[in-house]
Amino acid sequence: MDDPDRGAVRQRTRALAELSELRTMLGRLPRDDPGYDELAVRKEIAAAEALNLGIAAVTVQRIGLFDDLEMRRVRGEAAEFRDYDADLAQEY
């Protein structure tokens, strides 16, 4: 049987890898590329999910190369995800 801590570590590792990959892909695209905005949104969502997995905000900010304003937005999205999850948990 898997150790629950090991599973959490795997989730965090995958979340950081996804965030890093999205940052790299965005860095290779010009801002006027048709897919740029979608990747930017996916990067913010990945960052919010990483925060909700317990990864330190400073780590998420550095890996995602977010400025302070972007990090505020990411934190807000993370809070919205938590609220949504709490609402679902109450319903079921």
In contact, 16 and 62? CB cutoff 8 Å: no
pLDDT band at 2 (very low <50, low <70, confident <90, very high): low
pLDDT at site 73: 98
CA distance linking residue 34 with residue 45, whole number of Å? 19
**What tens digit of pLDDT does each residue of 17-65 get?**
999 999 999 999 999 999 999 999 999 999 999 999 999 999 999 999 9
* Domain residue ranges of the chain, discontinuous segments joined by +: 4-91
Cα 12 to chain centroid, rounded: 10
